[in-house]
Amino acid sequence: MQKRNYNYFLLIFFAFLLVVSIIFTQTLTDKATQALQKGNVEAVETFKTNNEMQHLVNLSFTLQSRFSQMENMNEVFPLEVLGDSLTLYGYNANVLNDAIARKGDVPNLGSLMNAVNAQLNISYSILDARQQKDSKLLDSLTGLLTRSKPAENVYHYGVLVEKFLENQLRQTLITNSAHASQLSAYNRVLSIAAVIAVLIFTTIIVIRQWQQLVLIKELRVAREAAVKSKNAKDEFLANMSHELRTPLNSLIGFGNLLSDTALDNTQKEYTNTIISNGYNLLHIVNDILDFSSIEAGKLRIKRIPFNLPELFEDLKRMFSAIVNEKKLSYHWNIDPQTPQVIKGDPERLKQILVNLINNAIKFTSYGGVHLHVGVLPVEKEETHKLVFSVKDTGEGIPKEKIDLIFERFEQLEQMTTRQHGGTGLGLSIVKSLVEGMCGSVSVNSEIGLGSKFTFTAVFEKAAELPVARKTGKLSADFSGYTALVVEDNAANRMLLRHLLKKYHLQIELAENGLEALERIQQKHYDLILMDIQMPHMNGYKAISIIREELHISTPAIAMTAYVMENEIKRCFAAGFNDYISKPIEEPDIIGKILKWMPVRTGEQERSGIADPAGELDFFRDLLGGDEAVMNELLAEIRKQWVSDKEALRTAAAAGDAPGMARVLHRIKSTFSALGPNHPILQLLKEHAEATGSNAAEMKDECERIISQIDQSGKVVFIS
């Protein structure tokens, strides 16, 4: 009996434990459910907040755009509408601020509201200035709005606030997961089988979720590391290019100057060795930069007409010294049916051939190198497909290396037995360039008998023969002209002084941008040659002040050791008329100077520089004949001219003579890329200032100027 009572009470005890477990489990379930509901509510609120934040940012950018162009906004968006938009913008920002503030202390929320208030203050000030018709204050405020870009600050802090809210939501979801785990643990008391099943199932889910979170975190870290690595690599390449090209500029430049002096045979040999090794180092730098551009997908192939035999003659002259030194033969020939004038990228084609010929000479001890080109049939009538071959009688390539030589950093020699040097990038660059010209490259080789590299490339048919280049020494005479050379490197200043002295160009020297600004304000110069990286004030800042604050339009050429494509674009955007890369070659810098400071007619003929035959020849030459870039820039010029016309008419209608003068100066900058001798630039010289005495006369003069510019620029506006 006692045993039965014991069993009875034991069952009651277990039943009681079961009931307690059920009640406790239900309580935990309720808590978990409430936590989940709370998490869902927070998720919905977070999504709503994100949407409202996006609307706020969009409205911020819209208002910034409209108030930046206030002079043209009144007709489309009346002042009352803009005022209402500002009111709505401020109201939405306050509502969003209250909603977010209820979530506790949210970082960056105050910064977000400060950015919103800053934009509202500037915008209301612009609105007041527009109502009071205070054009000077309006220009100043719109300029402040354009420079400060408050909408970008609103966007930046809005993203940070959204990330904080998302992190809060993530923590809530993690807490919910913990409640769910506890609920599963107590439910396992009800059934051993259910406990095992739930345990296994929950474990799998938790592990998978944890793995996904870990993977997401690792991917995020890897992405950030990759971005930092890429930025670091780009910065390193740009700095390496600058630091190497700056001393190379002096090394090669003084070497060339020294070679023009009276030297005995031994001195001449030493000088040629210095120059040759300087160019070899420059070739290595160029290979690394080209490889970086190819990796980034920024390789561009130009389409300009060029003469194929002239290019081959250039190659022969380039390698004549080393060919004679190694006592090798060098020959080239072109099949009779191959066109001599084609349209493509001569510099890239030359780069391919230089790499192949250089390798052929490097690995050839006897015999010689032969360059051949023929034509292949094509389906498109407007193109030519040419096949080039470079054959040598050198060491040959082992069969196991044939498939590897076009890979980056691959070389035929082991590091411990290297005799010929090189970066291992040459053939990789060749392969990429050939593929960029719609061709392919291959090699046939036999040990001890030599190698033959063959590649194809597609070119367009050339409509006309390019102007034949003249060789030999330049004979330009810049007597009577004065140039300002701004360069922080003493050796480069000395080089330019000696080099330009040969052409009777009077130069003055400045060591940095600040010194250049002082000199330019004290004296007129016919040309400015300015380095980019300088202490105290760099070239970009200096040219910006010269153009925008001093309103000086003297032609300026950037001398930059940074040759990356984005740096070249930055030169033009900053206000430079042209650029020249370091190390500076004598024919290149004289050619650049002749573009912007032409010598007299007789001297121009002696220098071998032909006068432009058409309105866009100067522009085309400036851009290297790249039609795509020409069309893009012409479209921007036409767009800016439409805006300038309206501004000129507005100033004339208001009888604002200083305003017309400012707009005319801006128009001159708009068309400056067409060259100083373009009809539009010549016309603007005659209309440097408004001459009307009242609004009616200024309006007539304004329409006359616009009509003459439209007539003089037909080619620009139609092309």
Q: Calculate mean pLDDT across residues 173-180.
A: 68
Question: Are 143 and 16 within 8 A, CB to CB?
Answer: no
- Tally: H helices and E strands in the chain: 23, 12
Q: Calculate mean pLDDT across residues 175-189.
A: 63
pLDDT band at 606 (very low <50, low <70, confident <90, very high): very low
190 pLDDT above the threshold of 60? no
372 pLDDT above the threshold of 90? yes
Q: What is the pLDDT of residue 598?
A: 67
Would you list the DSSP string of 440-492?
A: -EEEEEETTTEEEEEEEEEEEEPSSPPPPPP-S------TT-EEEEE-S-HHH
Question: Are 689 and 651 within 8 A, CB to CB?
Answer: no
Q: Calculate mean pLDDT across residues 446-467.
A: 81
Question: Are 109 and 161 within 8 A, CB to CB?
Answer: yes
Q: What percent of the chain has pLDDT over 90?
A: 10
DSSP-derived letter for residue 672 is G
Would you list the DSSP string of 629-655?
A: HHHHHHHHHHHHHHHHHHHHHHHHHTT
Question: Are 589 and 612 within 8 A, CB to CB?
Answer: no
637 pLDDT above the threshold of 70? yes
pLDDT digits (tens, 9 = 90+) for 53-111: 778 888 888 887 877 776 655 555 577 777 788 888 888 888 888 878 777 777 887 88
Q: What is the pLDDT of residue 2?
A: 46
124 pLDDT above the threshold of 70? yes
pTM: 0.41
Question: Are 405 and 427 within 8 A, CB to CB?
Answer: yes
pLDDT band at 48 (very low <50, low <70, confident <90, very high): confident
Distance CA(371)–CA(584), nearest Å, equals 29
Tokens 């100083």 belong to residue: 676
635 pLDDT above the threshold of 60? yes
Q: Calculate mean pLDDT across residues 349-363.
A: 87
Q: Count the alpha carbons within 13 Å of 100 in the hemisphere toward its beta carbon.
A: 30
pLDDT digits (tens, 9 = 90+) for 647-659: 888 888 888 888 8
Distance CA(533)–CA(486), nearest Å, equals 10
Name the E strands within 199-339.
304-307, 329-334
pLDDT digits (tens, 9 = 90+) for 387-409: 999 999 988 888 777 777 776 54
pLDDT digits (tens, 9 = 90+) for 133-155: 777 887 888 888 778 888 788 88
183 pLDDT above the threshold of 70? no
Q: Which of 174-183, 234-243, 489-498, 629-638 bottoms out in mean pLDDT, i.e. has the lowest?
A: 234-243
Distance CA(246)–CA(207), nearest Å, equals 57
Mean pLDDT of the chain: 75
pLDDT digits (tens, 9 = 90+) for 261-296: 777 777 766 676 676 666 666 666 666 655 555 555
Task: For strands 304-307 and 341-344, give the pairing.
Answer: antiparallel
Q: What is the sign of the dihedral through the CA atoms of 9, 13, 18 and 24?
A: positive
pLDDT digits (tens, 9 = 90+) for 503-562: 888 989 999 999 999 999 999 899 999 998 888 898 999 999 999 898 888 899 998 766
Token pair listed for 221:
């870290």
Q: Calculate mean pLDDT across residues 377-381.
A: 80
pLDDT digits (tens, 9 = 90+) for 292-343: 555 555 567 778 888 899 889 888 877 887 888 888 999 999 998 999 899 8
- Which residues does 365 contact at the CB level (< 8 Å), separation at least 6? 326, 394, 395
Q: How far is CA 265 from the centre of its chain?
A: 47
Q: What is the pLDDT of residue 293?
A: 57
Distance CA(136)–CA(498), nearest Å, equals 48
Task: For strands 441-446 and 450-461, give the pairing.
Answer: antiparallel
